[in-house]
Amino acid sequence: MIRSATPHDIPEIRAMIRELAAYERAEEQARATDEQLRGALFGEHPAAHALIAQDDDSGAILGFALWFPRFSTWTGTRGMHLEDLYVRPQARGSGHGKALLAALAALCRRNGYDRFEWWVLAWNTPTIDFYKSLGVELLDEWTVCRLSGESLQALAAQAPRVVDPAPGA
């Protein structure tokens, strides 16, 4: 079964985020707390949304997908960015990952989103092969850029004064 996440799922979502981070060799980077996830997913202005893959018989949570809307200036339309897709090792190969992606694709269609995009680590061959089996186009001409930590602080310190910033800016 694929269903929308509820606040009761937060501890399992956080556990799966840590499992995913361990798999991706970056466990120390998974610092989100239950409180942060609750606010991001179920607060007054949610920053993201999540779907849960749940075993029909036992009710065990087997995976999740966490996504948020994005906007393309080129198409003038919204799209979807998949931040995390994770299926627990014991449930892999049983169709849960494909079901989560299909449910997200259906959400894209229902919401008029033109694009459904995400990142995958270059060394993650099993996942890349799975995505290719679904017809996913790998955009290897793009490079992900990230600014964080001291570099983010240093650049922010150079910012000019912004007059009348947009709400939330």
Residues noted as catalytic: 131
Q: Could you tell me whether strands 77-87 and 115-118 are parallel, antiparallel, or unpaired per DSSP bridges?
A: parallel
**How many helices (H) and strands (E) in the chain?**
5, 5
Distance CA 11, CA 19 (A): 12
What Rg do the C-alpha atoms of the chain give, in angstroms? 18
**DSSP assignment of 106-119, as one string?**
HHHHHHT-SEEEE-
Contact residues for 81 (Cβ-Cβ < 8 A; gap 6+): 67, 68, 69, 70, 117, 118
Q: How many other C-beta atoms are found inside a 10 Å radius of the C-beta of residue 16?
A: 22
Query: Would you say how long the chain is, in residues?
Result: 169
Question: If DSSP codes are grouped into helix, strand and coil, which group holds residue 83?
Answer: strand
